[in-house]
Amino acid sequence: MTDLLAGLNREQTQAVTLPPQHALILAGAGSGKTRVLTTRIAWLIQTGQVTPQGLLAVTFTNKAAKEMIARITAMLPINTRGMWIGTFHGLCNRLLRTHHREANLPQLFQILDSADQLAAIKRLLKTLNVDDEKYPPRELQHFINGQKEQGHRPADVEAWDEFTRRRVELFAEYEAQCQRESVVDFAELLLRSYELLKHNEPIRKHYQRRFRHILVDEFQDTNKLQYRWLKLLAGGDGEVPGACLFCVGDDDQSIYRFRGAEVGNMLAFEREFQVPNVIRLEQNYRSCGNILDAANAIIANNTQRLGKQLWTDQGEGEPIRVYEAFTDGDEARWLVEEIQSLVRDGLSRSDIAVLYRSNAQSRVLEHQLFSAGVSYRVYGGLRFFERQEVKHALAYLRLIANPDDDTAFARVVNFPTRGIGARSLEALQDAARTFNGSLYATVSHLTGKPRKAIEPFVAMIEKMRSDTAALPLPEVVDHVLDQSGLREHYLSQKAKDGQERLENLDELISAAANFVAEMPAPEAAVDHPLLADFLAHASLEAGDHQADAGEDAIQLMTVHSAKGLEFDVVFLTGLEEGLFPHDNSVRELDGLEEERRLMYVAVTRARQRLYVSLAQSRMLHGQTRYCMRSRFLDEIPVGLTKWLTPQQSASRQPSPGAFGAGMRRAATAPAQASRDLNGLRIGQAVQHARFGVGTIVAAEGSGADARIQINFGPNGMKWLLLGVAKLEPV
Ligand code: ATP
Ligand code: MG
């Protein structure tokens, strides 16, 4: 018997071995929350208090769920197949597949990811002739999801004004459309399974009896409905005793407020369950002292905290390295050079993470990494299953599984083009409304030209279905790629990325093959066909089958997706006002505090070494923006950092240090009075639209690369691209 408790500290041991009661572990980053949770699972099983089937564990991402299973199997030689460990969405999907009849869903219901959902809403507005300027689809999507996350159906929404009343009607129309098409969006997965448990007593009792222990990681990020779902499962009523809820979380890492997550759930949990055990862990085992001090200092600026401090006995370690680049391109080039030198020194690539606040930042970084031949892997972002060509292929597969899936139908009915005109499609939409049927089913009701145009498509799908009925899943995919004409379409494309898209299509076959090989729990496989499972997997587990999986690669991801993970070396990029903290958030205190928690998450991912970088100008969404450095950078105590470049950018609260360093940089730059600076000269005063009046102090580069340095006084020193910056002599 392995000693599971070896190496744990006193509080951790106490948490792992708590008696079967509710518990809340409230602790900062890297203090071993996830380790405690997985060890408790192993310990409960090892000591015979529960069977693997008798517990349910929820975490936030698929990556985290996989990691959890890996950690458990490393501790205990048990078969984790069939165990209920996963994300909320994954577990709800499983519940609904198993009880689809009771949930009023067809067996082969499909899952809409958020892009599909948006497309479905747009289509709905179009069919209903709704002015999409008055009711923007994205806003409506947000409204619908927000309502569902609070557990509301249209009838539950209080609408006092005409605008809201209309939105509620559209919400109801949207629900009807989803039901008609047998599709379920992410929020619906949760709400539907919540309602299933709530209204179906035998099913509820069955699971309440079964799950004796429910464990939740990253509890601070659960939303209201998830919390109610947990309460229902753990509840126990009448003759069924309740399960023990074991929740671990960190209020300082709550970063999904925008999705309705509520730190308040921690307090509610403690109160409503009269939690007898609240344990705090304060020793951090992940990061060196300097990194931890920086994180503590940053988060101390937040006012809304439950309050805790972390310490480490690892020593202070290295200083936090700060790099200020001229442009985002320079930042990326520096980063790649630094990474190459780390790798030369023997570090494996997978121990290095590059983090950014927004997905859009990854393109430049990817480009530089790619050009330098450094292999990397992107988590999140445009993930494999979200790529256009992959979604097209999946749409065909979805139609085979469920012809009533109108979103899939609309996506590929004329892709690759088969000469089906907009008029014919409109006629079809209208007829579908009249007959109250799916697009697919309505084709046979059409007459004339529209019918002639669309009928062959239906015939093709029918043939695909019968041709593939007896084939193994990877061959089904292969067959569909050919018969749909997708392969041919991308083959014939002159476009440079045709090849890449073809590779992605082939990758889909590999994904199907992997999926079959890894087919989980026999229990899950019973009576639902593989194709539907695979499609559900594609919607839920996007990103897990990237082409370079398994290879030693640099890890690229947004700060959001880095939650719970750790790396020896972390590069945190784009520390600029407007980017991090994000523009959208700085106007309200809550928003800013959420950004700061995100910053805290980012900093605490690093074990040994943390780099933070920023650029003075950045091209984002097609526009060059000049940046001030992030206030979060200024919140790191000066003594913990080491600047790799002279400090130049304006700090929001200019410190003498920053200004002084800027001056040093100016003094060493050769003042080239003779250079042609578009009619300007060193020493001249100029006006800049954003930074105000300043004095030109230096210049370098030539042609399109020519840059000048300007002292904007309280707004700091700036290097600006001469050709881009609009400067007026004053
Ligand atoms: P986060 O808040 O970021 O999710 P966490 O609290 O879940 O962090 P873990 O990921 O469980 O923290 O642990 C952080 C690191 O510290 C891991 O590498 C873990 O193995 C290690 N660790 C945890 N407890 C101990 C311990 N008692 N002795 C040595 N290492 C430990
Ligand atoms: Mg964790």
Question: What residue numbers bound the domain in which 724 lies?
Answer: 684-729
Q: What is the ipTM of this complex?
A: 0.99
pLDDT at 657: 34
One domain, residues 90 and 123:
no
One domain, residues 553 and 510:
no
By alpha-carbon position, which residue is closest to atom 29 of ligand 1?
285
Residue 128, domain CATH:
1.10.10.160
Say how many C-beta atoms besides its own lie within 10 A of residue 560's C-beta. 18
Tokens for 186? 């992410």
One domain, residues 97 and 115:
no
Query: Which of 59, 87, 253, 641 is an active site residue?
Result: 253
One domain, residues 581 and 449:
no
478 catalytic? Reply is: no
What digits encode the pLDDT tens for the residues 357-387?
987 787 778 878 878 888 888 876 555 677 7
Domains of the chain: total:
5
Indicate whether 310 belongs to any domain. Answer: no
Query: Which of 148, 605, 609, 718 is an active site residue?
Result: 605
Question: How many angstroms does the Cα of residue 283 sit away from the middle of ligand 1?
Answer: 9
Cite the DSSP H helix spans in 605-719.
631-634, 656-668
Atom of ligand 1 nearest to the CA of 8: 27
One domain, residues 565 and 531:
no
pLDDT at 650: 61
Indicate whether 389 belongs to any domain. Answer: yes
One domain, residues 371 and 411:
no
Indicate whether 290 belongs to any domain. Answer: no
Between CA 506 and CA 25 the distance in angstroms is 45
Indicate whether 91 belongs to any domain. Answer: yes
Q: For a ligand 1 pocket test, name from 286, 561, 600 the mutation site with the most ligand atoms within 8 angstroms of its C-beta.
A: 286
Indicate whether 648 belongs to any domain. Answer: no
Domain boundary among 181, 202, 234: 181
By alpha-carbon position, which residue is closest to atom 23 of ligand 1?
32
One domain, residues 334 and 396:
no
Question: How many angstroms does the Cα of residue 286 sit away from the middle of ligand 1?
Answer: 6
Ligand approaching nearest to the C-alpha of 33: 1
Tokens for 633? 């950078």
Tokens for 201? 């007593």
Indicate whether 534 belongs to any domain. Answer: yes
For residue 275, which of 88, 18, 55 has the smallest C-alpha distance?
18
Indicate whether 717 belongs to any domain. Answer: yes
Binding site feature residues for ATP: 27-34
Say how many C-beta atoms besides its own lie within 10 A of residue 645's C-beta. 16
One domain, residues 28 and 79:
yes
One domain, residues 379 and 392:
no
One domain, residues 392 and 508:
yes
Residue 543's region, left for phi above 0, alpha for psi from -120 to 50, else beta, is: left
By alpha-carbon position, which residue is closest to atom 26 of ligand 1?
8
Domain boundary among 151, 181, 211: 181
Atom of ligand 1 nearest to the CA of 37: 11
Tokens for 573? 């990029």
Q: Which residues of the chain fall below pLDDT 50?
A: 521-528, 543-548, 653-675
Ligand approaching nearest to the C-alpha of 28: 1
* 369-405 core/surface letters (b: 16 or more CB in 10 A; e: else): beeeebebbbbbbebbbbbebbbbbbbbbbbbbbbbb
One domain, residues 445 and 495:
yes
Residue 428, domain CATH:
1.10.486.10
Between CA 715 and CA 711 the distance in angstroms is 8
pLDDT at 215: 98
Residue 236, domain CATH:
3.40.50.300
DSSP bridge partners of 619: 624
pLDDT at 306: 79
pLDDT at 639: 92
581 preceded by a cis bond (ω within 30 of 0): yes
378's CB contacts (< 8 A; 6+ apart) are: 362, 366, 546, 556, 557
By alpha-carbon position, which residue is closest to atom 31 of ligand 1?
285
Using CA atoms of 41, 44, 49, 53 in order, give the dihedral in degrees to the nearest 10.
Answer: 20
512's CB contacts (< 8 A; 6+ apart) are: 473, 474, 476, 477, 534
Indicate whether 674 belongs to any domain. Answer: no
One domain, residues 440 and 529:
yes
Query: Which of 218, 338, 533, 593 is an active site residue?
Result: 218
pTM score of the predicted model? 0.77
What digits encode the pLDDT tens for the residues 153-197?
999 999 889 999 999 999 999 999 999 999 999 999 999 999 999
Domain boundary among 494, 518, 540: 540
DSSP, collapsed to helix, strand or coil, labels residue 134 as coil
Which residues does ligand 1 sit against, CB inside 6 Å? Answer: 7-9, 12, 27, 29-35, 250, 253, 285-286, 564, 566, 604
